[in-house]
Structure 1
Amino acid sequence: MAISAQAREILDIAVAASEAKLGINPVALEVTDRMPFTDVFLVVSAESPRQVNAIANEIVDELIKHGHKRAKMEGKDEASWILVDCRDVIVHVMLDEKREFYALERLWADAPEVPIEVTPR
């Protein structure tokens, strides 16, 4: 099943926002058929807690600028893994070591990857 146009728009905004704050290796997975409450998981790495916070905040700010409702965030205090709930897209901004340890891409290996545009550095 393809993701909705709204999910695509939110995903594109989130990817661009994460790139603006130098997010690392974004991967989007379509979970529409597996999760009744969202369409896409976006996983992005960061090198420091400060960068995790910066990426999550940039995503929320950009969504608001584009007319979307304020996303909910969890994990801001620890800033090693912040979950940004954008309804149709759930963004996991994680420190590299957390991402390796929890391996969400392997956990959701049966979920098809959603193509995203990433600017090469």
Structure 2
Amino acid sequence: MSATDHALTLARTAAEAASDKLAEDIIAFDVSEQLVITDVFVLCSAKNDRQVKSIVDEVEDRLRELGAKPIRREGERDGRWVLIDYGDVVVHVQHEEERQFYALERLWRDCPLVELPASVTAATDA
């Protein structure tokens, strides 16, 4: 079983929102075969704590427009790694140092990548 269409829509919208706030290294993994609690992980990096907050705010605003509300949010106080759980999708916004240290990509590298919009991948490749 792969990620639902709803989860893919949320993931792509979250990735676009993050890209609009200049997030870097935006990727999404279909983890539906590995986890029963969610379908997609979206990962992105920010250069500083303020940018982490800005990305989180934009992701929440854009997903709210689709009628999605976070089930929970963690790490907001420190602003180094914020996790936003939407049930079908979990968005990880990490300060670039946390991203390198925890290397979530290594943990999920066996999972298929979710194809993201060209505007997101172009910004990530630049």
User: Structure 2 length normalisation: TM-score?
Assistant: 0.90
Q: How much has 1:72 moved relative to structure 2? A: 2.4
Q: How much has 1:118 moved relative to structure 2? A: 4.1
Q: Which runs of 5+ in 2 are unaligned?
A: none
Q: Which residue of 2 aligns with 1:24?
A: 24
Show the 5 A alignment for 1:7-22.
Answer: 7-22=7-22
Distance 1:41 1:70, change over 3 A: closer
Do the aligned partners of 1:83 and 1:93 also contact (CA within 8 Å) in 2? yes
Q: Kindly provide the amino acid, as one letter, of the partner of residue 37 in structure 1.
A: I
Q: Kindly provide the amino acid, as one letter, of the partner of residue 101 in structure 1.
A: F
Q: SS in structure 1 opposite 2:111?
A: coil
Do the aligned partners of 1:10 and 1:63 also contact (CA within 8 Å) in 2? yes
Do the aligned partners of 2:70 and 2:84 also contact (CA within 8 Å) in 1? no
**2:44 and 2:4 mapped to 1: Cα distance?**
21
**2:108 and 2:11 mapped to 1: Cα distance?**
18
Q: SS in structure 2 opposite 1:36?
A: coil
Q: Deviations over 1:65-104 (max 9, x none)?
A: 1222245211000000000111111011001111011000
Do the aligned partners of 1:38 and 1:89 also contact (CA within 8 Å) in 2? yes
Q: How much has 1:19 moved relative to structure 2? A: 0.9
Q: Kindly provide the amino acid, as one letter, of the partner of residue 35 in structure 1.
A: L
User: Structure 1 length normalisation: TM-score?
Assistant: 0.93
Identical counterparts, % of pairs: 38
Show the 5 A alignment for 1:1-121.
Answer: 1-119=1-119, 120-121=122-123
Do the aligned partners of 1:60 and 1:71 also contact (CA within 8 Å) in 2? no
**Structure with more helix by fraction:** 2
